[in-house]
Structure 1
Amino acid sequence: MQFWDNIINTALLGTDKKQVNAGELCPDLSSIFGDVSSNETLDKEEKFLHIAAIAFNYRQSGITPVLRKEITIKVAQPEELPYCNKQTLQILKEILDEESIPLLKFWLQQCVVNQQLVILDLIPTLLDIGRHHKTLRPFITACCGKRGEWLSEFNPDWNFSVRATAEELWQTGTPDERKKVLQLLRETDPTKAREWLTQSWSTENANSKAELLKQLKINISAEDINWLESLLNEKSQKVKDEILHLLKLIPTSGIILQYWNLLQQSIELKKEKKLLGLSSKTVLQIKLPNVIDESIFKTGIEKLSSQKNISEEEYIIYQLISLTPPNLWQEHFNDTAENVYILFSNNKDLERYLPALGLATGRFKNNEWAILFIKEESKYYQDLLPLLTKDIRIKYLLNKIEAFADSVIQFLSNENEEWSPELTSVIFKHTAKNPYQYNRNFYNEHIHLIPATIIKELEKYAPPEEYNAKMWSNMCEYIIKLIQLKQQILSAFNQ
């Protein structure tokens, strides 16, 4: 409505600079304009306000919509799954009132597992939540069924509920959708994922290339080497860095072999006599050759040490060891992992390189070497935890949590299964003492990991300080409420 824009412009400029005239209004308002403008009892500001008020009401009274015959509304497809029962839906409403996204995710997961749907009234609410929480979208899509898919066609913000094929999303999706598609495909068919990226490579910009390359870390293998090495002439440094990072994860890549070749030139085994010269022991020495191929420094190896107590040579060696598969040391010495580990640990000069070996063990996922490192009392190797069996990992974490509590809790926060009762007990002993760091948000975000058995023990974790004890008492009430909701979810879906 152009006439309304004219009124807005007049209001912005002021009646001293501009007046609304009859030609700027719609024909229906011309007679009213004449009555107002001819009223001598009103000043120019009052006349403008009268006209604006009348125009506003006219504008609000409704207009005839544009008729577009080509628009048709399809009928939603019939649902194939049953709706949830009243109890599960009531719990869902309580979770929505509580605004607990972790509990909502837990509820949605149970709904998907039990192959049920939410009632129609709640579909818009869930779709709107999905706008802001991407991790919930797959579950919301499944729980809203055919009606959710149909309804999303009327709101672009809900179109994540439209079940497009992976290839369609790869071709036409948003950057986040394309990354997710490549990530999922990389998990199931790494070769096909690489082929898709190869085909679209020339059309991607530098930022897109760098982000998409990160997804290739999943199931990275020797099959990726040729294509990745062919990209090393890319102009963007950001893209080059991602390519180099990926190549450093493949034990047989040219970069890794170049590092190992330099280390082999630096290794020397010597026989040293023990006390009185009656026996000798084998000692490992590592010293870089006088001349080093400068090309290694173009691959990310840094020349200068940032620590005063570590020389440039030691720093370079440390980096090379951290990027070299541990099994190559076994092959070089034709010995067991344990004996090679002893070569390093029994030598004061080489003991400093053990953390580098630990980093390499995690990088190349070597289970045999991981077992050796978890025996170290003074260090905590978080990158090695996924390589341990569940029982060994729990035992290791219980042993380390007192000295490295925050790091252990950070790792456990990303678990998919409930914490063991033993771990939960130790975690709560620490978190109860630090109520500002581990506040309500912490327990809310991790409620899916907290076992219900902890309810009986909450009181005994109360801090000795009166103020902190009061805070913990209030926190316990909140934790119990969350756990009870979680139990109700399981109970309702299992009926």
Structure 2
Amino acid sequence: MNIWQDLVKTAVVGTQRLELKITTQDNQLGEVLNHLDTKDKEGCLLSAAGTIYFYQKAGKFIAIDNNKTIETCDLDDLPYCSHASEQHLGIMLSGEYGAILPEWLKLLADTKKNVSPKYLPELLTLGSRQNNLRKYILPVLGKRGIWLATQNPEWNYVSSEDKEKIWKNGSLEARKNVLHELRQSEAETGLSQLQSIWTKERAQERASLLEVLEIGLSVEDEKFLEDALEDRSKLVRDVAARLLAQIPESKLVNRMVERVRPLLSLDRNGIEVVLPKKCTLEMTQDGIDESKYIPSLGEKASLLLQMLSFVPPSIWSNDWQKTPDELIKIVENSKWEKVFLEAWITATIRSKDTVWAEALLKACPKLSKNLTNSDGSIKYLFKVIPESQIQSLILEVLQQHPDNIFSSANPAFILLVNTPYIWDEQISQTAISSIKSCIESNNKVNNWQLSSALATFSSKISPSVYSQAVNYLNFAASENIHKTLIDAVDRFLTKLQFRYEMRQALLV
């Protein structure tokens, strides 16, 4: 509005140097502004600014299209969550305990209930802003939530209608969502869709859409990806090479195996390494990037690391007749330890080798010592292994290392913190006992790491052990526990209580 621009201009220049002109309109705002005292220049300017602010904040009635009819939604088949669960959801949506929301949504879906209508708009808006929450939100919207989503374009991620229209004219993000959904249900159809528009897209879009093929990736995608290795854009070539590396039977993986095999040999002294002489044109086309130079390793060792990352680690277990545990032990403290560990982690994640993933997770303190982003690597390794196997692995390591589970040198601590799953009851009970022992042995120490870890543990521990946690972690004043630790324990128990009550309300 012009009147606002005039006010700003006068405020910047000053009322003494520029005459204040208030051009009013024939409306309610103009009626109020006409009654301002223009003799008091400064007061008039401030009053006008305040009036306009409140006028804009009040808004206006939206135009109503009387010719448009909106179909009413069908009744929901499933019941809504209880009033108590509603209150828990409200607390999480307000920002407190927000990290627990996925746990609540998943349990709501498991108990075959829907979100109360009261919170549907807020939850739909949250899903439009945080893509990672959508997979938890969609199953609990019910028919009313799906109907409501069609009334707001910002919530179009919910509706599967007009996919063809979105694919042709939608934003890159919207088209990626369509392709993602297709790849989950009909991987070959998704590939065909991508092929149909491939030559019309710019390099950035081609690379971004190509990444979605990771969903449902198989040998059926190899030919298209091999062709993409010859794309004129490096962005596209890099994505294609990364995807082909995840297909152990691919020609690219076989080519890389043939390049690396002559460079490595195993004898009684360990693994002998011959560094590659140079990065050839064929290696570059297969995804080796000469510019990814790691100063601490050197140029040729950096090349070897990249090459080795393309080779499924089971190749070395089979070639040398050694288990993953034995090979990890062989490279320990050698000059090539960092190269092998980093390459084996990447190759394990790419080839989804559960045996190697478990062996590397057991050696997680070595990963922390050698890698700059060891936590990120550990989280990706967890994705390779089924949940039941992860729970067994963590319990095994925790029972082997029950002391000082808050030390980053303890493999149990690293696994407990980074696991993507809520610990099972047996792990949780063992962890509670270890927490109690650790606090009692460090009762006069302001242990920041322990306090920080408790905050993480409060989201991981099973709520079923809440009563045991209260009994075990109830310290008497005579025990001289540091106030910082007492406060950390109180926060831990308060959050665990919330999760316990949250689950109880949903399970009723």
Same fold (TM over 0.5): yes
Residue 264 of structure 1: CA displacement? 4.1
Distance 1:318-1:114 versus aligned 2 partners, 3 A rule: closer
Residue 239 of structure 1: CA displacement? 2.7
Distance 1:429-1:311 versus aligned 2 partners, 3 A rule: farther
Say which of 355, 358, 367 aligns to 2:341.
Answer: 355
Within 5 A, what are the aligned runs for 1:419-434? 420-421=427-428, 424-425=431-432, 428=435, 433-434=447-448
Say which of 302, 320, 324 aligns to 2:307.
Answer: 320
Q: Tell me whether 1:459 sits opposite 2:473 in the alignment.
A: yes
Q: Tell me whether 1:492 sits opposite 2:499 in the alignment.
A: no
Distance 1:216-1:18 versus aligned 2 partners, 3 A rule: same
Report the counterpart of residue 132 of structure 2 in structure 1: 135
Deviates most, 356-365 or 370-379: 370-379
Q: Tell me whether 1:186 sits opposite 2:183 in the alignment.
A: yes
Distance 1:6-1:107 versus aligned 2 partners, 3 A rule: same
User: Retained in 2: the 8 A contact 1:303–1:316?
Assistant: no
SS for the counterpart of 2:473 is helix
Report the counterpart of residue 295 of structure 1 in structure 2: 282
Report the counterpart of residue 488 of structure 2 in structure 1: 475
Report the counterpart of residue 230 of structure 2 in structure 1: 233
Report the counterpart of residue 274 of structure 1 in structure 2: none
Residue 227 of structure 1: CA displacement? 0.9
Residue 300 of structure 1: CA displacement? 1.5
Distance 1:445-1:301 versus aligned 2 partners, 3 A rule: same
Report the counterpart of residue 278 of structure 1 in structure 2: none
Report the counterpart of residue 364 of structure 1 in structure 2: 351
Q: Tell me whether 1:112 sits opposite 2:109 in the alignment.
A: yes
Question: Residues 42-63 of structure 1: CA distance to partner in whole angstroms, max 9, x if unpaired?
Answer: 7484997799699979979999
Report the counterpart of residue 211 of structure 2 in structure 1: 214
SS for the counterpart of 1:81 is coil
Higher RCO structure (Cα 8 Å, ≥6 apart):
1
Identity percentage of aligned residues: 22
**Matches of 1:119 and 1:269, distance apart in 2:** 63
SS for the counterpart of 2:228 is coil
Report the counterpart of residue 273 of structure 1 in structure 2: none
Structure 2 gap ranges (5+): 368-376, 440-446
**Matches of 1:138 and 1:343, distance apart in 2:** 37
Q: Tell me whether 1:243 sits opposite 2:237 in the alignment.
A: no
User: Retained in 2: the 8 A contact 1:428–1:461?
Assistant: no
Say which of 445, 452, 459 aligns to 1:438.
Answer: 452
TM-score, normalization: structure 2?
0.69
Say which of 81, 85, 105 aligns to 2:82.
Answer: 85
Higher radius of gyration, 1 or 2: 1
**Matches of 2:331 and 2:92, distance apart in 1:** 57
What do you get for the CA RMSD once the two structures are aligned? 5.4
Residue 440 of structure 1: CA displacement? 7.6
Say which of 415, 419, 423 aligns to 2:421.
Answer: 415
**Residues matched between the structures, number:** 473
Distance 1:152-1:250 versus aligned 2 partners, 3 A rule: closer
Question: Residues 252-278 of structure 1: CA distance to partner in whole angstroms, max 9, x if unpaired?
Answer: 3343333222334446789xxxxxxxx
Q: Which amino acid aligns with 1:148?
A: G
Distance 1:454-1:207 versus aligned 2 partners, 3 A rule: farther
Residue 5 of structure 1: CA displacement? 6.9
SS for the counterpart of 2:482 is helix
Question: Residues 193-223 of structure 1: CA distance to partner in whole angstroms, max 9, x if unpaired?
Answer: 3222222333444333333333333443332
Question: Residues 444-473 of structure 1: CA distance to partner in whole angstroms, max 9, x if unpaired?
Answer: 6546788536514652899x996x731222
SS for the counterpart of 1:136 is helix
SS for the counterpart of 1:238 is helix
Question: Residues 90-119 of structure 1: CA distance to partner in whole angstroms, max 9, x if unpaired?
Answer: 444455567212333333323222332344
SS for the counterpart of 2:469 is helix
TM-score, normalization: structure 1?
0.71
Structure 1 gap ranges (5+): 271-280
Residue 240 of structure 1: CA displacement? 2.4
